[in-house]
Structure formats: C-alpha cells, structure tokens
Structure 1
Amino acid sequence: MHMDMSLPELKQYQGKNPKPTNFDWYWEASLDELKELSLGYEITAADMAISDVTLYHLTFTGIGGVRVHVKWAKPHRPTGQAVVMFHGYGVDSGDWLEKIAYAKEGIHVFAMDCRGQGGLSEDAIVTIGPTVRGHIIRGLKDQDPKNLYYRSVFLDAAHLVKIIQTIDGIDSNRIGSYGQSQGGALALAVASLVPEIKKTYSVYPFLSDYKRAWEMDVTNSAYEEISFYFRNVDPMHEKADETFLKLGYIDLQHLASRIKSEVIMVTGMRDAICPPSTQFAVFNKLNTKKTHHLYPEHGHEYIPLHADEAFNYFRSL
C-alpha cells in the first residue's frame, strides 16, 4: 500500500511549492546581514561530570539580538572534527548521552536549541499575524519575508557553524550536520548556507514542499498549521498563491541545490507526518554525492540502525 506516490513517481518528483524569483538574493542578503553579528560567545560549565569530556552551555547572539543556547560536548583528546546537531519540532537539544558518545571519540558536538521552542533559546520575532499552532506560519502576514520565523532559525544554525569554525582545535572543513524531522531540515539548511559543511545526515526532514503537504492529509501532519492559517486568516483562499510563494523562501527543496556536502537522507515510506514526496522533492534536487535510505515499513518514528550508521559516518569526517 502506498501512502504517497509510487516509488518510480517519487524518484522523479520535483516538488510543487513555488520558488520566489528573488530567492537567491533573499538568502545572500540574509547571509550578508549575518556577517554583521559578533562571533563571540559565552560558556558556562554544565552540572554533569564525565571522564575525557567537558560539558558546556554555550550562548551566542543571533539575528534580532536574541540569545541562542547550545549544548557543547568538548572532547579532551580532540580529532579536529565537529558535528552540529538539531532537534525535532517543539522540543529541545536533548540529553547529553548521545553527544558524549561522539565526544569520547574526539568529536566536538554542538546541539542548538531552536529559538522559542522547548529549550533555552530566546525568541524576539514581532509579527502581525497568528503565532498559535506553530512556527511555519509566523511572519506570513507580514509584508517583509524577512520576518519569517524559519529564516531566523536557519541563520542561527549558520552563525553557530561560523562560531565553531573559530574555535581552537576544530578544523573548519571537518564539520558535519545531523538531525531528525525539523532537525533533519536544519541539518540540510545549514549545509546549504555554509558550504564548508562536509557531511550531512538528515532523517525524514521537515520544512519542504508546503503546497504538496497541504494537498495531502495536512491536518494529521506536521504541516497542520498551514490549514489552521487558512481557516483563520484566509478562509476562502483568496491569497493562497501569495501564501505558498512566501513559504517558498523557507522551503528546503529550494535550498537543496546549494548544498556541497555529502548527504545521507533517511525516509520512512509510510511517513504521514512529513510525507515522502516532500522529502524526495529535496533529495531529487541535491547536486552532490548523496545516498537515500528508504524504509518501506516505517513512518515518522524510531528508525532502526540509523543512529549507529550516522555515528560511524561522522567518525570519518
């Protein structure tokens, strides 16, 4: 049974959410804005002692002057490698355990809390539209697409990598990005904005092909807030084209062609939360060394073996 398109159709699918004509300018201008920020950061020791690893809470200032929180597992015998980790929608950077495993191998780990979600990062976005039910829709009613929430989060991720590249003992060309769902999207987004990222491991990424997601069973997916937005802001869909075009600025499929890192993507073929077609829209537009692991019986859930594979993948950064 197919919950989405057939596999041959998926392998040819190119997405349907529109791309703004000034998309490339939008992100180049955003990266120029990022250059104005300080690469400084502050650290405090975490309340946990582990042999061969020191654990820190790192904070830096992101777009809009907010303080962004990051967990840093610093190895005592570093190899020069680093991995940035990103969490799923609405939660936080997670426990230390997985990060410690990497640090024990000499790999620095930096796990960022997305602003305004479940962790310690601040959020200072002021918008005129709704903010309830999710972050995709934040800034959609504003005339300026600079106020889209995920623009700020993508830039936070990029700024974090720029900071990591300044840290003694880290090779700026031996950095990887890793995450699942929202985190899988951010792992790809940061690779698109920071070309030095060497390896990316993205598990069922979110934030892609919004129009396709809306056409499916959107109210039972991670994209349900799009339906909420239309119901309350544009119930007759009089501005639907404008809405999807604005979402195009933060559509991962349109960033995919910028990625230079090697990419492994993982997709559960029964994923009803982030439908496979929205993920294939990204994968099919990657112009780099890439591998797509497909799990026919799995959805948006625990995927066996992938965490161990990711660990070995990043050990060879």
Structure 2
Amino acid sequence: MAAFDMPLDQLERYAPDLAEPADFDRFWTSTLTAAAGPLVLDIRPEPNDLALLDCWDVTFGGFGGQPVRAWYTRPAGRPGPLPGIVEFAGYGRGRGLPHERLTWPAAGYAHLLLDNRGQGDLYGCGGDTPDPPSGAAMGGPGVATRGLLSPDDYYYRRLITDAFRAVMALRELPDVDPARIAVIGNSQGGGLALAVAGLIPDLSAVLVSSPFLCHIQRAVSLTDLSPYGEIATYLSVHRDAEPAVWNTLSYVDAVHFARRANAPAHFGIGLRDTVCPPSTGFAAYNHYAAADKTMHTYPYNGHEHGDAVHTRSQLRWLNPRLRPT
C-alpha cells in the first residue's frame, strides 16, 4: 500500500481540537469506582516447558468484578522485587498460550499479559475470558460495535476497565515492585495503553505502537479495514444512529486519555498503515501531555510498523527507565 495519509511534516504538527465530553472525567471515575473490589482472585503455577521463565495463570477482578484471565511470567530464580510490565494484545487476539509472548520476561521484567474479554477467535491461540451479556445488542461482526449506542453499554468501557485493573493486579503479585510499572501495546493494545496512561498517574513508562482508538471519527473516514470498518458497516445499516455512535466513541477516544498522561512515552507508527491511519496515532502523540516522549516512524511499513527493529528500540528505551536488576 502506498502512503495515503498526510506527509510526515504535517503529521508532526497534527493536533486536532477534538470535542471531549463534558463529563469525561466523571464517567471514568464512576466507572472505575464501581469496579472496586478484590483484585487477585486466583493464581496458580502454569507449566510452560521453559527452563528460564516461570509462569502463573492469574485470574483477577475486572469490570463489574467479572473474572479476567492473564499470564504472569517472570525470570526463573531471579529475586524480586522486579519492575513490571502489563501488555495488552491486539484486536481479535486472546492471551493465547503461556509461551507466546516472551520478550519482556526474557528481558528481566515481571510480565502480565491481559486476556481480551470476548476476543481470541481471529488469530493466535485463543482466549479464556468471556464477555458476559450486558443487555446491549451486539451489532456488527466484532466487538468494536458491541453496545455502540451507549457509553455505559459499550464494549470498550469494559475492556479499558479490565486494563486499568490489570495494572493494579500486577502491583499485588509476588516479586513485583509496584513503583516500577510500565504498560505496552500494539494496535488495540496501544489504545488500551494510552487509556491506562490517562487513568493512572504514577506509571513509570508507556510504550505504544500503531494505536487503535485514536481520533476515531477520522479513522472511520479514512479506512474500510477492520476494526474501524466495522463501525462504518454498522452505520451503513443503522443510518440514524450516527450522533449516538460518535457520542459513545468520544468516551473511549485515546486522544482524550493522552491529554491526561504524564508517564514517559515511546511511540511507533508505520506511515503506510491502512488499519490505524498514521494521522490518528500522531493526534494522540501530539496531545500526549508528558514532555518525555519520543516517536519512531517507519516510512515504508504499514500496521506492522518497525517489527523487531522497533522492539529493539523499545527495549533500549525502557531499560534505563525501569532498570531491571
């Protein structure tokens, strides 16, 4: 795919004035307050057939106290407390198998991989967390349109709450230093990382690549690919729902969370990304409130951005900020 969005010099200045709900902070404060309750519900060792890493199957209380699964993996035999990382997976992916995501524990971090509720059927090795019925009609082929007519019913209200609670749960797990916690995600995971950065003021670092949920209305206007294409498809059938849809999405747009974030941030974007258009990720980056932030762009890459080259950049950037021992 050829470059289709703004040229880089315009992207670097692109900071659109997005309308924010007047009750945005109140909405999320009440949502997270309602989710208060026991965090770690169950933790048990999980065989992973690996000699150098230990793993546990963790269940914690997410949105509405509903059980959410995660893998907790850390270097075997390394004394704690260790700095921790919560990783959020991409759209359609579950937590998979315990040996799938090993970069961060192999680098010396205590690593919690969140399972995406109600996802896991598009690629990878599946998920283990259901999304109990909320009473809202699902609509569309995927979770991007589930409960789309109301901020209270919308799927991403639940998933963002799970992501917030995952950070709190990691802080309670054995051998974790609760004062040294970072969040990381690609695509949907990048949007979740930005949301959490705006909701938790004392994170140590945020790593975001090809983020979903940013400047959503523009994204829907630029691409027909999933997940944004699912929203356009929904509106092609529910023609009178547009005002309600944009209102709902304004409560989960990561640009609003970015304005509230103060943790150091590392971004990566492929300038030929037709899944999450570059300008939408730059909108979040340019509004990101912390002064300590860096952007890495890949002019000839799409949604995969810099791939392993970018991971190396993340590792080198994060180490001095969390300093694993």
Query: Is the shorter-chain TM-score for this pair beyond 0.5, marking a shared fold?
Result: yes
CA distance in 1, matches of 2:172, 2:193: 20
* Larger mean Cα displacement after TM superposition, 38-47 or 99-108: 99-108
Amino acid at match of 1:30: T
Q: Is the 1:17–1:211 contact (alpha carbons within 8 Å) kept by the matching residues of 2? A: no
CA-to-aligned-CA distance 1:121-146 (integer Å, 9 cap, x gap) = 1211424333332222211224xx22
State which of 253, 277, 282 in structure 2 corresponds to 1:280: 282
What secondary structure, in the 3-state scheme, does the structure 2 residue paired with 1:122 have?
coil
Amino acid at match of 1:300: H
Name the CA shift for 1:297/1:101 in 2 (closer, same or farther; >3 Å): closer
TM-score of the superposed pair, with normalisation by structure 1: 0.90
Aligned to 2:132: 124
Aligned to 1:214: 220
CA-to-aligned-CA distance 1:159-203 (integer Å, 9 cap, x gap) = 111122223432212111111111111122122212221111111
State which of 164, 175, 179 in structure 1 corresponds to 2:185: 179
What secondary structure, in the 3-state scheme, does the structure 1 residue paired with 2:139 have?
coil
Amino acid at match of 1:25: R
State which of 279, 294, 297 in structure 2 corresponds to 1:294: 297
The offset of 1:239, in angstroms, is: 4.0
Aligned to 2:34: 33
Q: Is the 2:144–2:227 contact (alpha carbons within 8 Å) kept by the matching residues of 1? A: no
Aligned to 2:160: 154
Aligned to 2:123: none
Q: Is the 1:129–1:138 contact (alpha carbons within 8 Å) kept by the matching residues of 2? A: yes
List aligned pairs for 1:3-152, cutoff 5 A. 3-15=4-16, 18-34=19-35, 36-75=36-75, 76-77=77-78, 78-97=80-99, 99-118=101-120, 119-142=127-150, 145-152=151-158
Name the CA shift for 1:199/1:98 in 2 (closer, same or farther; >3 Å): farther
The offset of 1:46, in angstroms, is: 1.7
Amino acid at match of 2:274: A
Aligned to 1:241: 243
The offset of 1:148, in angstroms, is: 1.1
What secondary structure, in the 3-state scheme, does the structure 1 residue paired with 2:145 have?
coil
Amino acid at match of 1:202: V
The offset of 1:97, in angstroms, is: 4.5
CA distance in 2, matches of 1:127, 1:247: 19
The offset of 1:111, in angstroms, is: 0.2
Gap runs ≥5 in structure 2: 121-126
CA-to-aligned-CA distance 1:207-241 (integer Å, 9 cap, x gap) = 1112101221x32353011111112222xxx4423
The offset of 1:292, in angstroms, is: 0.6
Aligned residues: 310
CA-to-aligned-CA distance 1:7-28 (integer Å, 9 cap, x gap) = 2322222346532121111112
CA distance in 2, matches of 1:37, 1:160: 13
Q: Is the 1:18–1:245 contact (alpha carbons within 8 Å) kept by the matching residues of 2? A: no
Whether 1:307 aligns to 2:297 is no
Percent identity (aligned): 32
CA distance in 1, matches of 2:20, 2:317: 32
What secondary structure, in the 3-state scheme, does the structure 2 residue paired with 1:57 have?
strand
